[in-house]
Amino acid sequence: MTGTHGPYNAFLDLPQMPVAHAESGPLAGLRLAVKDIYDVAGYRTGCGNPRKFVESDAASRTAPAVRAILDAGARFVGKTQTDELAFALFGQNAHFPFPVNPAAPDRVTGGSSSGSAAAVAGRLADIATGSDTGGSIRAPASFCGLIGLRTTHGRIALDGTMQLAPSFDTFGWFADDIETYETTGRLLLGRDPHQHSLDRPISLTWLDEMVDHPALAEYAGMKVLAGAVFGTPATSTSSFSSSPDELYWCFRRLQAREAWGVHGEWITSGERDLGPGVEARFGFGRAVDDRTAQAEQVRRLTFRSELSALLGKDGFLVLPTVPGPAPYVDSTPEQFQSYRERALHLLCFAGLSGFPQITVPIGSVAGAPFGLSLLGPSGSDIALIRLGRKLLAQHKRPEPWTH
Protein backbone atom coordinates (compact mmCIF):
# COMPACT_ATOMS: atom_id res chain seq x y z
CA MET A 1 0.00 0.00 0.00
CA THR A 2 1.94 3.00 -1.28
CA GLY A 3 -0.67 5.70 -1.35
CA THR A 4 -3.72 6.70 -3.37
CA HIS A 5 -4.54 6.92 -7.04
CA GLY A 6 -7.06 8.59 -9.29
CA PRO A 7 -8.93 11.84 -8.88
CA TYR A 8 -9.73 13.13 -5.40
CA ASN A 9 -7.32 10.69 -3.66
CA ALA A 10 -10.35 8.50 -3.05
CA PHE A 11 -8.93 5.08 -3.93
CA LEU A 12 -5.97 3.23 -2.47
CA ASP A 13 -3.15 2.40 -4.85
CA LEU A 14 -3.50 -1.38 -4.82
CA PRO A 15 -3.00 -4.03 -7.49
CA GLN A 16 -6.38 -4.65 -9.05
CA MET A 17 -7.67 -8.20 -8.75
CA PRO A 18 -10.91 -9.67 -10.10
CA VAL A 19 -13.80 -9.63 -7.64
CA ALA A 20 -16.80 -11.72 -8.62
CA HIS A 21 -20.17 -10.06 -9.02
CA ALA A 22 -23.53 -11.08 -10.44
CA GLU A 23 -24.17 -10.16 -14.07
CA SER A 24 -27.77 -9.25 -13.33
CA GLY A 25 -29.74 -7.96 -10.37
CA PRO A 26 -31.23 -4.75 -8.97
CA LEU A 27 -27.80 -3.05 -8.84
CA ALA A 28 -26.51 -4.32 -12.19
CA GLY A 29 -24.35 -1.79 -14.02
CA LEU A 30 -23.52 0.20 -10.88
CA ARG A 31 -19.99 0.68 -9.55
CA LEU A 32 -19.16 -0.22 -5.94
CA ALA A 33 -16.27 1.21 -3.91
CA VAL A 34 -15.41 -0.36 -0.55
CA LYS A 35 -13.99 1.33 2.53
CA ASP A 36 -10.75 -0.32 3.59
CA ILE A 37 -12.08 -1.71 6.84
CA TYR A 38 -14.17 -4.31 4.98
CA ASP A 39 -12.68 -7.56 3.73
CA VAL A 40 -12.69 -8.12 -0.02
CA ALA A 41 -11.45 -11.56 -1.07
CA GLY A 42 -7.90 -11.35 -2.42
CA TYR A 43 -7.16 -7.97 -0.83
CA ARG A 44 -5.48 -7.10 2.44
CA THR A 45 -7.56 -4.97 4.79
CA GLY A 46 -5.30 -2.09 5.81
CA CYS A 47 -7.68 -0.07 8.02
CA GLY A 48 -5.86 3.17 7.18
CA ASN A 49 -2.59 2.13 8.84
CA PRO A 50 0.42 0.98 6.75
CA ARG A 51 1.72 -1.34 9.46
CA LYS A 52 -1.68 -2.97 9.84
CA PHE A 53 -1.68 -3.50 6.07
CA VAL A 54 1.77 -5.12 6.06
CA GLU A 55 0.82 -7.46 8.91
CA SER A 56 -2.46 -8.55 7.34
CA ASP A 57 -3.02 -11.53 5.08
CA ALA A 58 -5.20 -11.25 2.03
CA ALA A 59 -8.83 -11.88 2.93
CA SER A 60 -10.19 -15.26 1.93
CA ARG A 61 -13.82 -14.10 2.00
CA THR A 62 -15.61 -10.86 1.27
CA ALA A 63 -17.57 -9.25 4.10
CA PRO A 64 -21.19 -10.49 3.80
CA ALA A 65 -22.72 -7.02 3.53
CA VAL A 66 -20.33 -6.14 0.71
CA ARG A 67 -20.94 -9.53 -0.93
CA ALA A 68 -24.70 -8.88 -0.87
CA ILE A 69 -24.20 -5.72 -2.94
CA LEU A 70 -21.96 -7.57 -5.40
CA ASP A 71 -24.46 -10.41 -5.66
CA ALA A 72 -27.09 -7.84 -6.61
CA GLY A 73 -25.03 -6.93 -9.68
CA ALA A 74 -22.78 -4.06 -8.56
CA ARG A 75 -19.20 -4.13 -9.90
CA PHE A 76 -16.24 -3.61 -7.54
CA VAL A 77 -14.05 -0.67 -8.61
CA GLY A 78 -11.60 -0.41 -5.72
CA LYS A 79 -10.88 0.05 -2.04
CA THR A 80 -11.19 3.53 -0.63
CA GLN A 81 -9.17 5.48 1.86
CA THR A 82 -10.24 5.57 5.50
CA ASP A 83 -9.04 7.55 8.47
CA GLU A 84 -6.57 5.60 10.55
CA LEU A 85 -8.34 2.70 12.29
CA ALA A 86 -11.55 4.58 11.44
CA PHE A 87 -11.03 6.80 14.49
CA ALA A 88 -11.36 10.37 13.16
CA LEU A 89 -14.01 12.71 11.79
CA PHE A 90 -12.39 14.86 9.09
CA GLY A 91 -10.70 12.52 6.59
CA GLN A 92 -7.11 13.62 7.16
CA ASN A 93 -5.06 10.45 7.51
CA ALA A 94 -1.41 11.30 8.29
CA HIS A 95 -0.21 8.41 6.10
CA PHE A 96 -1.88 9.39 2.80
CA PRO A 97 -2.67 12.41 0.65
CA PHE A 98 -5.94 13.74 1.98
CA PRO A 99 -9.06 12.94 -0.07
CA VAL A 100 -10.47 15.95 -1.89
CA ASN A 101 -14.10 16.95 -1.43
CA PRO A 102 -15.50 17.14 -4.99
CA ALA A 103 -18.41 19.31 -3.85
CA ALA A 104 -16.21 21.83 -2.01
CA PRO A 105 -12.50 21.28 -2.78
CA ASP A 106 -11.32 23.81 -0.19
CA ARG A 107 -13.12 21.89 2.58
CA VAL A 108 -12.55 18.44 4.12
CA THR A 109 -14.42 15.35 2.98
CA GLY A 110 -15.11 14.18 6.49
CA GLY A 111 -14.05 10.85 7.92
CA SER A 112 -13.53 8.17 8.63
CA SER A 113 -15.30 7.09 5.41
CA SER A 114 -13.42 9.80 3.53
CA GLY A 115 -12.44 8.02 0.33
CA SER A 116 -15.88 6.46 -0.10
CA ALA A 117 -17.59 9.85 0.14
CA ALA A 118 -15.09 11.40 -2.29
CA ALA A 119 -15.58 8.52 -4.74
CA VAL A 120 -19.36 8.92 -4.90
CA ALA A 121 -19.36 12.73 -4.82
CA GLY A 122 -16.75 12.69 -7.59
CA ARG A 123 -18.84 10.21 -9.61
CA LEU A 124 -16.12 7.58 -9.57
CA ALA A 125 -18.56 5.12 -7.95
CA ASP A 126 -22.33 4.89 -7.71
CA ILE A 127 -22.35 3.21 -4.29
CA ALA A 128 -19.61 3.19 -1.69
CA THR A 129 -19.59 1.41 1.63
CA GLY A 130 -18.71 3.20 4.83
CA SER A 131 -19.23 2.74 8.53
CA ASP A 132 -20.69 4.92 11.24
CA THR A 133 -19.40 4.61 14.80
CA GLY A 134 -19.40 8.26 15.78
CA GLY A 135 -20.61 9.89 12.57
CA SER A 136 -18.53 8.47 9.73
CA ILE A 137 -21.46 8.09 7.36
CA ARG A 138 -23.47 11.13 8.39
CA ALA A 139 -20.70 13.74 8.52
CA PRO A 140 -19.03 12.88 5.17
CA ALA A 141 -22.45 12.65 3.51
CA SER A 142 -23.35 16.11 4.77
CA PHE A 143 -19.96 17.54 3.81
CA CYS A 144 -19.98 16.06 0.29
CA GLY A 145 -23.65 16.48 -0.66
CA LEU A 146 -24.63 12.81 -0.41
CA ILE A 147 -27.33 10.64 1.14
CA GLY A 148 -26.14 8.69 4.17
CA LEU A 149 -27.94 6.51 6.71
CA ARG A 150 -26.57 5.41 10.04
CA THR A 151 -28.44 2.12 10.31
CA THR A 152 -30.04 0.74 13.46
CA HIS A 153 -27.24 -0.75 15.51
CA GLY A 154 -26.91 -4.48 14.90
CA ARG A 155 -29.31 -4.60 11.98
CA ILE A 156 -26.63 -5.30 9.35
CA ALA A 157 -24.02 -7.90 10.30
CA LEU A 158 -20.42 -6.70 10.54
CA ASP A 159 -18.65 -9.98 9.86
CA GLY A 160 -15.45 -9.39 7.90
CA THR A 161 -15.14 -5.85 9.26
CA MET A 162 -12.52 -4.11 11.38
CA GLN A 163 -14.17 -3.25 14.67
CA LEU A 164 -13.66 0.12 16.34
CA ALA A 165 -16.19 0.29 19.18
CA PRO A 166 -18.55 -2.68 18.84
CA SER A 167 -21.55 -1.27 20.70
CA PHE A 168 -21.46 1.76 18.34
CA ASP A 169 -20.23 0.30 15.02
CA THR A 170 -22.71 0.19 12.12
CA PHE A 171 -22.56 -0.58 8.40
CA GLY A 172 -23.49 2.19 5.99
CA TRP A 173 -23.24 3.32 2.38
CA PHE A 174 -23.27 6.45 0.25
CA ALA A 175 -25.11 7.32 -2.96
CA ASP A 176 -26.04 10.60 -4.57
CA ASP A 177 -29.50 9.57 -5.77
CA ILE A 178 -32.35 8.26 -3.70
CA GLU A 179 -33.34 5.46 -6.11
CA THR A 180 -29.94 3.79 -5.78
CA TYR A 181 -29.92 4.46 -2.07
CA GLU A 182 -33.30 2.89 -1.41
CA THR A 183 -32.62 -0.10 -3.68
CA THR A 184 -29.44 -0.81 -1.75
CA GLY A 185 -31.26 -0.30 1.54
CA ARG A 186 -34.03 -2.74 0.72
CA LEU A 187 -31.42 -5.29 -0.30
CA LEU A 188 -29.40 -4.99 2.91
CA LEU A 189 -32.18 -4.30 5.39
CA GLY A 190 -35.25 -6.12 4.15
CA ARG A 191 -38.49 -5.09 5.81
CA ASP A 192 -38.44 -2.69 8.74
CA PRO A 193 -39.27 -4.35 12.06
CA HIS A 194 -40.74 -0.99 13.09
CA GLN A 195 -44.06 -1.08 11.27
CA HIS A 196 -45.69 2.14 12.49
CA SER A 197 -45.89 5.20 10.23
CA LEU A 198 -43.56 8.05 11.11
CA ASP A 199 -45.77 11.10 10.86
CA ARG A 200 -44.95 13.22 13.92
CA PRO A 201 -41.88 15.42 13.34
CA ILE A 202 -40.14 16.75 16.45
CA SER A 203 -37.53 19.47 16.85
CA LEU A 204 -35.31 19.85 19.93
CA THR A 205 -34.26 23.40 20.74
CA TRP A 206 -30.84 22.52 22.07
CA LEU A 207 -29.94 20.49 19.00
CA ASP A 208 -30.84 23.43 16.77
CA GLU A 209 -28.63 25.65 18.93
CA MET A 210 -25.56 23.65 17.85
CA VAL A 211 -25.73 25.16 14.33
CA ASP A 212 -22.88 27.56 13.57
CA HIS A 213 -23.91 31.17 12.99
CA PRO A 214 -23.10 31.27 9.23
CA ALA A 215 -25.41 28.29 8.66
CA LEU A 216 -28.38 29.50 10.73
CA ALA A 217 -30.35 31.02 7.86
CA GLU A 218 -29.89 27.96 5.66
CA TYR A 219 -30.88 25.63 8.48
CA ALA A 220 -34.03 27.67 9.11
CA GLY A 221 -34.89 27.29 5.42
CA MET A 222 -34.33 23.53 5.55
CA LYS A 223 -36.69 23.28 8.51
CA VAL A 224 -39.30 25.28 6.58
CA LEU A 225 -39.00 22.77 3.73
CA ALA A 226 -39.31 19.89 6.18
CA GLY A 227 -42.38 21.55 7.65
CA ALA A 228 -43.96 21.87 4.22
CA VAL A 229 -43.37 18.18 3.53
CA PHE A 230 -44.07 16.62 6.93
CA GLY A 231 -45.94 19.29 8.85
CA THR A 232 -44.30 21.79 11.16
CA PRO A 233 -42.11 19.96 13.69
CA ALA A 234 -43.35 20.22 17.24
CA THR A 235 -40.63 22.12 19.06
CA SER A 236 -39.77 20.34 22.27
CA THR A 237 -37.75 21.68 25.17
CA SER A 238 -37.93 18.20 26.65
CA SER A 239 -34.99 17.79 28.94
CA PHE A 240 -33.27 14.48 29.32
CA SER A 241 -31.80 13.37 32.61
CA SER A 242 -28.38 14.25 31.16
CA SER A 243 -27.28 17.58 29.73
CA PRO A 244 -25.92 17.92 26.18
CA ASP A 245 -22.38 18.07 27.54
CA GLU A 246 -22.93 14.98 29.68
CA LEU A 247 -24.21 13.03 26.68
CA TYR A 248 -21.24 14.19 24.61
CA TRP A 249 -18.78 12.98 27.25
CA CYS A 250 -20.72 9.77 27.73
CA PHE A 251 -20.30 9.01 24.05
CA ARG A 252 -16.64 10.03 24.00
CA ARG A 253 -15.72 7.92 27.02
CA LEU A 254 -17.59 4.78 26.05
CA GLN A 255 -16.51 4.87 22.42
CA ALA A 256 -12.85 5.49 23.25
CA ARG A 257 -12.77 2.85 25.97
CA GLU A 258 -14.21 0.26 23.59
CA ALA A 259 -11.74 1.30 20.89
CA TRP A 260 -8.85 0.79 23.29
CA GLY A 261 -10.29 -2.59 24.27
CA VAL A 262 -10.30 -3.65 20.61
CA HIS A 263 -6.98 -2.18 19.48
CA GLY A 264 -4.96 -1.52 22.61
CA GLU A 265 -3.04 -4.78 22.58
CA TRP A 266 -2.01 -4.30 18.96
CA ILE A 267 -1.07 -0.65 19.53
CA THR A 268 1.20 -1.50 22.47
CA SER A 269 2.80 -4.54 20.82
CA GLY A 270 5.13 -2.55 18.56
CA GLU A 271 5.83 0.73 16.78
CA ARG A 272 2.58 1.67 15.04
CA ASP A 273 3.28 5.23 13.81
CA LEU A 274 -0.21 6.40 14.71
CA GLY A 275 -1.10 9.91 13.64
CA PRO A 276 -1.09 12.34 16.58
CA GLY A 277 -4.84 12.88 16.82
CA VAL A 278 -5.60 9.16 16.57
CA GLU A 279 -2.94 8.33 19.14
CA ALA A 280 -4.43 10.89 21.54
CA ARG A 281 -7.92 9.45 21.19
CA PHE A 282 -6.70 5.93 21.92
CA GLY A 283 -4.78 7.29 24.90
CA PHE A 284 -7.97 8.90 26.17
CA GLY A 285 -9.79 5.58 25.93
CA ARG A 286 -7.01 3.79 27.80
CA ALA A 287 -7.52 6.16 30.74
CA VAL A 288 -11.28 5.54 31.15
CA ASP A 289 -11.58 3.36 34.25
CA ASP A 290 -14.17 0.69 35.05
CA ARG A 291 -16.13 2.83 37.48
CA THR A 292 -16.47 5.68 34.99
CA ALA A 293 -17.48 3.29 32.21
CA GLN A 294 -20.16 1.69 34.36
CA ALA A 295 -21.63 5.07 35.28
CA GLU A 296 -21.63 6.17 31.66
CA GLN A 297 -23.30 2.95 30.58
CA VAL A 298 -26.14 3.65 33.02
CA ARG A 299 -26.39 7.17 31.58
CA ARG A 300 -26.51 5.73 28.08
CA LEU A 301 -29.31 3.27 28.86
CA THR A 302 -31.33 5.99 30.58
CA PHE A 303 -30.92 8.29 27.60
CA ARG A 304 -31.97 5.56 25.18
CA SER A 305 -35.14 4.95 27.19
CA GLU A 306 -35.93 8.67 27.35
CA LEU A 307 -35.36 9.19 23.63
CA SER A 308 -37.50 6.15 22.83
CA ALA A 309 -40.30 7.60 24.95
CA LEU A 310 -40.01 10.99 23.20
CA LEU A 311 -40.25 9.39 19.75
CA GLY A 312 -42.92 6.86 20.64
CA LYS A 313 -44.11 4.77 17.71
CA ASP A 314 -44.74 7.59 15.25
CA GLY A 315 -42.22 10.34 16.00
CA PHE A 316 -38.96 11.33 14.36
CA LEU A 317 -36.46 14.06 15.11
CA VAL A 318 -35.63 16.77 12.57
CA LEU A 319 -32.13 18.04 13.32
CA PRO A 320 -28.97 19.43 11.74
CA THR A 321 -26.62 16.63 10.75
CA VAL A 322 -23.56 18.65 11.75
CA PRO A 323 -23.07 22.30 12.79
CA GLY A 324 -22.64 23.58 9.23
CA PRO A 325 -20.69 22.94 6.05
CA ALA A 326 -17.38 21.10 6.25
CA PRO A 327 -14.45 22.89 7.87
CA TYR A 328 -11.83 24.33 5.53
CA VAL A 329 -8.87 22.06 4.80
CA ASP A 330 -6.49 24.65 6.25
CA SER A 331 -8.43 25.17 9.49
CA THR A 332 -6.35 25.47 12.62
CA PRO A 333 -6.25 22.60 15.14
CA GLU A 334 -8.36 24.76 17.46
CA GLN A 335 -10.97 25.32 14.74
CA PHE A 336 -11.12 21.61 13.97
CA GLN A 337 -11.51 20.75 17.63
CA SER A 338 -14.28 23.30 18.16
CA TYR A 339 -16.17 21.94 15.15
CA ARG A 340 -15.61 18.33 16.24
CA GLU A 341 -17.08 18.96 19.68
CA ARG A 342 -20.19 20.67 18.32
CA ALA A 343 -20.62 17.97 15.68
CA LEU A 344 -20.39 15.16 18.22
CA HIS A 345 -23.01 16.85 20.39
CA LEU A 346 -25.35 16.28 17.43
CA LEU A 347 -24.03 12.95 16.18
CA CYS A 348 -23.99 11.24 19.58
CA PHE A 349 -27.80 10.92 19.78
CA ALA A 350 -27.89 8.05 17.27
CA GLY A 351 -24.67 6.53 18.57
CA LEU A 352 -25.78 6.36 22.18
CA SER A 353 -29.30 5.16 21.38
CA GLY A 354 -28.50 2.83 18.49
CA PHE A 355 -31.39 4.40 16.55
CA PRO A 356 -31.21 5.07 12.78
CA GLN A 357 -30.54 8.52 11.34
CA ILE A 358 -30.49 9.65 7.71
CA THR A 359 -28.91 12.80 6.32
CA VAL A 360 -30.16 14.25 3.04
CA PRO A 361 -28.40 16.91 0.93
CA ILE A 362 -30.92 19.73 0.82
CA GLY A 363 -28.82 22.66 2.06
CA SER A 364 -25.74 24.64 1.09
CA VAL A 365 -23.77 27.40 2.79
CA ALA A 366 -21.29 29.49 0.78
CA GLY A 367 -21.56 26.95 -2.03
CA ALA A 368 -20.76 23.96 0.20
CA PRO A 369 -23.24 21.17 1.08
CA PHE A 370 -25.03 21.03 4.42
CA GLY A 371 -27.33 18.12 5.28
CA LEU A 372 -30.57 17.85 7.24
CA SER A 373 -31.14 14.75 9.37
CA LEU A 374 -34.11 12.66 10.38
CA LEU A 375 -33.74 10.30 13.35
CA GLY A 376 -36.33 7.63 14.01
CA PRO A 377 -37.09 4.76 16.39
CA SER A 378 -35.11 1.54 16.34
CA GLY A 379 -35.77 -0.47 13.19
CA SER A 380 -37.26 2.39 11.14
CA ASP A 381 -34.40 2.58 8.62
CA ILE A 382 -36.40 2.09 5.41
CA ALA A 383 -39.09 4.45 6.67
CA LEU A 384 -36.42 7.13 7.11
CA ILE A 385 -35.11 6.57 3.59
CA ARG A 386 -38.64 7.07 2.28
CA LEU A 387 -39.04 10.25 4.31
CA GLY A 388 -35.76 11.40 2.80
CA ARG A 389 -37.18 10.68 -0.63
CA LYS A 390 -40.13 12.98 0.09
CA LEU A 391 -37.79 15.79 1.15
CA LEU A 392 -35.60 15.43 -1.90
CA ALA A 393 -38.63 15.43 -4.18
CA GLN A 394 -39.43 18.97 -3.02
CA HIS A 395 -35.85 20.23 -3.10
CA LYS A 396 -34.31 22.02 -6.07
CA ARG A 397 -30.82 20.56 -5.93
CA PRO A 398 -27.96 22.26 -7.82
CA GLU A 399 -26.48 20.01 -10.50
CA PRO A 400 -23.78 18.95 -10.35
CA TRP A 401 -22.25 19.32 -6.90
CA THR A 402 -18.84 18.58 -8.36
CA HIS A 403 -16.79 21.61 -9.28
Decide if 34 contacts 81 (C-beta within 8 A): no
Q: What is the largest CA-CA distance in the chain?
A: 57
**What single-letter amino acid sits at 212?**
D
Q: How far apart are CA 127 and CA 112, in angstroms?
A: 16
Q: How far apart are CA 28 and CA 48, in angstroms?
A: 29
Q: How far apart are CA 81 and CA 112, in angstroms?
A: 8
Catalytic sites, residue numbers: 35, 112, 136
Instruction: State yes or no: cis peptide before 400, omega within 30 of 0.
Output: yes
